[in-house]
Structure 1
Amino acid sequence: MKGAEAYVNDQWHSSGLANLPEGPEGHCITLKFIIPRDAQFTGLITHVCEVAHRRLSEFYVGRKVTHRPVQGSVVGDGSGDGIDLVFDVASAE
């Protein structure tokens, strides 16, 4: 089974991590990951969220990054394999 780090690394460009907004203002960032429906479970989704949070914190050094609760693992993208993770990045001081 594929782990959270692998999902984040493999989907770096397609998730949105490679194209993060810059600038001192606050940002709301939605990252989209494709995780096969049969591989989705709460622990994996939580770990993907933690890995993505760490990567965002590394990019936005010194700024508070928080994630919104995941509301359901499957989004209505037609495939049932997509999840959206939403993060808020505080403005720079």
Structure 2
Amino acid sequence: MKGAEAYVNDQWYSSGLADLPEGADGHCITLKFIIPRDAQFTGLITHVREVAQRHLSEFYKDRKVTHRPVEGSVVGDGSGDGIDLVFDVAPAQ
């Protein structure tokens, strides 16, 4: 079974991690991951969110990054494989 780090790394460009907004303003960022329905379980989705949040925190150094509740299954493309992870990035101080 594929792990959270692999999903994030494999989908770096398609998820939106490679094209993050810059600037001192606050941002709402939605990352989209494709995780097959038969592989989706709460622990994996939570871990993917944690890995993505870690990468966002590294990119937005010294800014608070918080996650919103996970939206999954039948999100986006209607296939049931899409997971939207939404994060809020605080404005720079």
**Please, what TM-score do these two structures have when normalized by structure 1?**
0.96
* Structure-2 residue corresponding to 1:79: 79
Instruction: Say how many residue pairs are matched.
Output: 92
Alignment gaps of 5+ in structure 1: none
Alignment of 1:11-90 (within 5 A): 11-71=11-71, 73-74=72-73, 75-90=75-90
CA RMSD of aligned residues (A): 0.8
Structure 1 residue ranges (4+ consecutive) displaced by more than 6 angstroms after TM superposition: none
Alignment gaps of 5+ in structure 2: none
* Structure-1 residue corresponding to 2:91: 91
Percent same amino acid at aligned positions?
85
The SS at the match of 2:51 is helix
**Please, what TM-score do these two structures have when normalized by structure 2?**
0.96
* Structure-1 residue corresponding to 2:4: 4
1:76, distance to aligned residue in structure 2 (A)? 4.5
